Chains A and B, each alone.
Chain A
Amino acid sequence: MSKEETVAKKQGSRYTVRVWRQAGKDKPGQLVDYQVDGIIPNMSFLEMLDVLNEQLTKEGKEAIAFDSDCREGICGMCSLVIDGVAHGPHSGCTTCAVRMRDFPSGSTITIEPFRAKAFPVIKDLVVDRSALDKIIAAGGYVSVNAGAAPDANSILVGKESADRAMDAAACIGCGACVAACPNASASLFTSAKITQLASLPQGQPERKKRVKAMVEEMDRLGFGDCSNHGECEAVCPKEIGINHIAQMRRDYLMATLAP
């Protein structure tokens, strides 16, 4: 252990972390308490879990499985429901960007996986979100092969449209919207892709086909329907609004009534 670390251990805070442990998909799970020391305020939430896992490994206990990758809030791999809220207490950010200064020293923090029928638990806090990829595969694209594109400036897009598309395209596909929704609906996720492409001229030729295919795939995969609770918008780390869901519903209606 380095000198800096020893100092940090002495100076840092202690937390009780109550974590969902589950050995595998069809195994029973339970919440287990752990103590973790030496946590400093600017440490990220996942760094706190790293510290805990190092401690568990040293003690010969199995480390807690959780997903994370970029650790800068853009890849969408991290998840976790922290004290009942997907991505934790800080609005507009992912779990990896949550800092320990948001938790009073000495407090107990409860950590659970994203729960939804369409997101089966793989192990501990790791869930299977591949259903979201299947929704995109159903139609979340413009069908254009590499090499078949015209000059980029031959497709003019007004700044407002481009900005609207970008607002929707900011979705990182983390699935927090599903975890937060009482119906475990993927409407916010699905509608973000639909609005992005519906806002752009490139998306028009397949607009009706797309919305039908994606919405129907979402239903087929076991996601619930939207009943306007707005929980999804509240936890979305990219602050994507439920107005996109309204757009999706309008488009779906149009596609069904006038295919």
Chain B
Amino acid sequence: MSTTLEQDLRAVASPLMNSNIPDGPLESKWTDYKGHMKLVNPANKRKYTIIVVGTGLAGGAAAASLGEMGYNVLNFCIQDSPRRAHSVAAQGGINAAKNYANDGDSVYRLFYDTIKGGDYRAREANVHRLAEVSVNIIDQCAAQGVPFAREYGGALTNRSFGGAQVSRTFYARGQTGQQLLLGAYSSLMRQVHEKTVTLYTRREMLDLVMVDGKARGIVVRNLVTGKLETYAGHAVLLATGGYGTVFYLSTNAVNSNPTAAWRCHKHGALFANPCYTQIHPTCIPQEGDYQSKLTLMSESLRNDGRVWVPKQAGDKRKPNEIPEEERDYFLERRYPAFGNLVPRDIASRAAKLECDNGKGVGLTGKAVYLDFRDAIKRLGQQVVKERYGNLFQMYEEITNEDPYKVPMRIYPASHYTMGGLWVDYNLMTNIPGLFALGEANFSDHGANRLGASALMQGLADGYFVIPYTLGNYLATKQPADNLTTEHEAFKAAAAKVQEMTDKLLSIQGDTTPTEFWRALGKIVWDNVGMGRNEAGLKKAIEEIKALRAEFWKKVKVDGRGDTLNKNLEFAGRVADYLELGELMAIDALHREESCGGHFREEYQQDGEAKRDDEKFCYVAGWKYTGDVSSPELHKEPLHFESIKLQQRDYK
């Protein structure tokens, strides 16, 4: 196609970013590729040691599956148990192209919705594979005993989610993430029992160890003893989640952080599309500065809840006193076809716009209503309770208001990051032997992730992709040699980490890591959040640089390095946030278009994101150069063969 050729001329593929997408028609790429992969002999698998960092849906599923296959797996997590990884907090559901609802769903439709939802900034081949294996995931989880919601006849039931016009979301009450994670966790613990997997809890990965240009091990801090430990293996799999905590205010867990990925980036791994971050529309609004954790409520609430603000700016009446004709159901008004179920980026921006125009509600004016009055009238309170009971309860516990009687107040918050380490079709980064799975990679969601797709991607990567692609790598590129941590590279890496720890402890300034984190978060949220513009991004870059310099002069870390020390843990992460935050701004500044979660105010049409496919239809991969402020840009052009590029339309 001529357009593709033109794109090639504009965005020249970097030699560092060979996507390794197999040849052949889209529908059969994965099947054909699997059929021709090199395999590791079953008897040889135990000679390979695989390091898996993270025990969420991607890491837990990968560690369990690789253990089942006979590899010697070392699995690390930051919490005290693998069951606590933040996948546990996902509420609403998991998508799969089962078409059990008989409403016209198919692998193609899930693929199409995901590409469109991602605003045409994801790789077709990866997304198609994701849609294909989505059906296997549901089978696997049901077989594990995951208690999915059922019809009276015993079959699985579905609900709808934003960005789709079919019902393809499977769920387990409002705790789908928890139940899927416990499924993966139980499979993992079975392998721990079988001794194929060795579990290392309360460990934080602080560096990657490279030998002969390949990823061969990691340095971790034992969070209980404070000791640095090194581990060697034949491949390293990062399943360490995203970087949403850079915003300070986020729905992530307290310990969620991008340090492992960031330190790999500093070894040369490309960081792709860092400006693609997702701001989730249905969070409980912030109450005070002390709060970093915001609580998210599943967007499934938008199935039955109606979003509105008063028509009159500054209307201070209580919500139930505002008559119907004085309410603006702005999503239904602006997007009649999708209504309250528009994708997350659109719903979030629309809410921000109303608040910016003075129509926000609540004490801070930074909230909109999510109202179940009509749903309760239509379905009865009992049905609403069955569907959303735990969410309503959670809301009431936090706000002290009863959402059965008073509309919920919601506001967007940082929730998920689509960007991440660049990976090829095999989920391998540009560092041989270093793989990234789940939210840690950039690959499947483009510029915006659809609801109920994170669980799908994490499990797809862990159960059904990496078991194949890792084998192919080992069989072709990595002999089962006997490298141990006695190798000097391990000692050097540990010494480097120790040096940073000593430095953090020695500064003894007057500002806590949390204070720096909060200050950074404000810069990033204000300038690299829901709306971005050139002036703001330039200002943010300068402010972050200054804050980073101040950090290394004024940070105060108490306690010692040889014991459990949360302050020290946080300080190391904040040091990384202060670098990654700048890269997010640099990427956002360079991408002179609006797409998905990246909304540049200069590039819009009637308030909607306006892409520039001529110039920006590529993945931006940033390479560390030794200077955080001047990374090197590499490009992977995106080719659309099966889907025609068009402006997203949810009207």
Contacts and interface: CB of A to CB of B under 8 A. Distances in A.
A69 B186 CA distance: 20
Interface in B168-199: 172-173, 175, 177-179, 182, 185-187, 189-190, 192-193, 199
Contacts of B291: 43, 47
B253 interface: yes
Contacts of B156: 152-153
B528 to A, nearest CB: 20
Contact of A69 (B79, B149, B288): B79
Contacts, number: 230
A132 B192 CA distance: 13
B514 interface: yes
Contacts of B150: 157-159, 162
Main secondary structure of the interface of A (DSSP, over half): loop
Given A157-B150, A159-B152, A8 B185 contact: no
A157 B154 contact: yes
Given A69-B255, A75-B79, A141-B190, A155 B398 contact: no
Contact of B182 (A61, A137, A169): A169
Contacts of B563: 23-24, 123
B153 interface: yes
B272 to A, nearest CB: 27
Among B64, B150, B152, max chain A CB count under 10 A is at: B150
A40 B287 contact: yes
Contacts of A58: 510, 512, 556
Interface stretch (B80-88, B106-114, B213-221, B344-352): B80-88
Contacts of B190: 137, 141, 143
Interface string B136-173: 10111111111111111111100000000000000011
Contacts of A63: 558-559, 566-567
B394 interface: yes
B67 to A, nearest CB: 10
B571 to A, nearest CB: 11
Interface in A87-117: 90, 93, 97, 99, 101
A159 B151 CA distance: 6
Interface string A58-73: 1011110101111111
Interface in A149-199: 149-153, 155-159, 162-163, 165-166, 169-170, 172-173, 196-197
9 contacts: A23-B563, A50-B514, A99-B400, A133-B83, A147-B464, A149-B139, A149-B143, A157-B154, A169-B179
Given A24-B563, A47-B290, A141-B187, 13 more contacts: A8-B289, A8-B290, A43-B288, A53-B567, A58-B510, A65-B564, A70-B88, A76-B83, A137-B192, A150-B139, A165-B145, A169-B172, A170-B173
Interface of A: 2, 4-5, 8, 23-24, 40, 42-43, 47, 50-51, 53-54, 56-58, 60-63, 65, 67-77, 90, 93, 97, 99, 101, 122-123, 126, 128-130, 132-133, 136-153, 155-159, 162-163, 165-166, 169-170, 172-173, 196-197, 200, 202-203
